Chains A and B, each alone.
Chain A
Amino acid sequence: MNTRTSLPKRSLSRLLSWPSVGLWLAYLVAFSISHEIARIWGGAYFFSLWYPAAGIRFAFLWRYGARWTFLIAAAELLAQSLLWTVIEHQVVSPRMAVDIILPSLTSGGVIAAIRYESRRNPSELAIAPLPLGLAAILTPTFTALVRGGWEWVSSHYDASATFLPTSIFLLGDMLGILIVAPFLLWLSEGKGRWGELRLSWPDLRQAALVFALGWSLALLLPDLRLMPIMLSMTWLGLRYGSKGAWIAIILSSGVTLFWSAKVPDIPTQIGLHIGLAVAAVSAYLAGSYTDAQQAAREIIARRDRLLFQAERLKTLRAMSVAVIHEISQPLSTLAIESRHLAAISRNDTEIAGSAALIARKVETLSTTIRRLRRFGGRAVDEPSPLSLGLLLSEVVKLAIGETGQKLDRAQLIVPATDVFVVGQEIELTQAFLNLVRNAMSASPTRPITILLSSNAQGASIMIANPHANVVSDSGGFGVGSLIARAIIMAHGGTLIRKDGRDGLIRHEVCLPIIETPHE
């Protein structure tokens, strides 16, 4: 409860922190530059069919959340007021102020609604990347509608107001979002993204050659307009995926838009912008197709590796069964003979003691063999009451034994009173083993913590590991947590990952509990 009530305060304090102020200033600068650049190729009463500032706004709101909406609106108002005052030597009127803040307010509203709906609605529309796609379409659409409505209303009160075509406004924002936002969002996903943009020298040479060839043909044969450029951009998209397409689009946009700024007549200017839009869409499609192909190839390769491992496991299982068979034969003989030896050696206590000891050990081994054999049988598939404390203790032993590490690598904290759940022992062991194994791999040098607790709602198992910057490849397939989640959900529980600001990654498992069974 405390966490819930303190959330707004925490959000507010986060917005007022120094990093947030820096972020806001960075947005202010980026918006001002992109807004001013768009004026270069803009028309008399409109900015352009390509308005990159809309893309920067969208990417910022999508990345950092709609709670930034009012701060974004303030930044845009401040930027445009300053620019209007410095460049045009005029003061921004109240009507202009509304013109300026309406797009950011509308964008924030649309993004907030889509984010809320995607959290609430479990349908396919809520699965990435559909929410982003929806937002990329709906944000400029609603912005244009609100802006058009506002102009229609204001034209009734101010006869001198200029009525701009809503479609141009819509296209400008939409293309601005399409060209800038995906690239910025992709870059913001991690530091390694810049590295992925690097091309090998032969690839770079090839890309530059094709790009230069396209532009040379477009300049030498003006009748072809932007057709050669579109072909070269499409090829770059096909060859290097969406990152190649983005670079080609940005470079081509820079050349085309600055070129269009020098064209005197509006129809030719708009024609160039439309041509660029077609080329960009084509490059996007080609890049996305290549990405999809690449992803499909990776999935197939992963599936093949999994199938190979499954076959290997089947072979190992058969070998284990064969070993069990081989062991059970001499064990039967040993059991019979050692008992007999113990029985006939009563006069010699030393021999009798040794024989009895052998008989006991053989009996223990026989029980182990029967237990091992039962693991593959139906009996263990039946849900049964399980002590979570014992189960987690076994899991920790298995994980430590598997990695050959010290016992203090994993700290298990269990309550004084044990917690019981109903479940399938092997499956639940597998689920927790996967989570503990992942945690140990993610923090190779520092200890991890497994904390078991319970309340009226159920049992809670938290597996926490410190975040490591560099994680070595564990050799897994990346399906361990997926399997764990599926098993836990099948037991009526949940698995949630939380990346804490304290540098800890927490996996929290909740399971329904039962009363302590009477043995």
Chain B
Amino acid sequence: MADLQDISNEKIRQEIEEFVENPDEIERNIETFARVRPLMQEIAAALIEGDDGTVDALTKQALEDKIDALEIMDDGLIAAMGVVGIKFRDNYIFVPEVLACARAMKAGMAYIEPILSASGVEPLATVIMGMVKGDLHDIGKNLCIMMLRGSGFNVVDLGVDTSDDEFIDAVEEHSAPILGMSALLTTTMPNMGKTIEAFIDADMRDDVKIMVGGAPVTQEFADDMGADAYGKDALECVAVAKGFLSVQA
């Protein structure tokens, strides 16, 4: 059985010592990190810190050192995300820190995705995601994006305050079959309907499935606006997106 001291990276040792309390989880994390290369531990430590720049640089270095892409993903990125999940569950960190870690993961995955593609592993589909015009409340959308990426979708994030033209241009540019729009305010929610109308005006409505979500949005609103589907949270967002694909297949 491995011991905490078998982990060479001090930051990882500290993280386990300080934040992992469940004995099974302590043992599992020690076993995991004790067997992985020091560079994978460094990547994991940077991801846990939410340091996307370091994850970027170290992932690049690892691939240049001919380390297997899946090893980087499993032993560096996902192993670290496991620790992040424990820290979040036990309230040591909160949503903003989790999203920073997700951004760091994306920085690493950006190097791995071309290798996946070259190996014949393609994303499920490209999804365009954005907050509607006038809306800056993006945390729900960011959680949806994290879930979609973690489920194998390629996501283009248009950010906040997105205009009709920006949505249309993105769908066109990326040939995306799915568009997700979110709004948190009753005052900005009608802009979803306007964007859907803009897609009809641009003669592109049949080219894209549109899902909508956000706290004040309901199935009734989604139907009124002419959206294809409504998702009440990030888990439903993934289910809806996968549902679109199975209908298309």
| Chain B associates with chain A | no
| Interface residues in chain B, defined as those with a beta carbon under 8 Å from any beta carbon in chain A | none
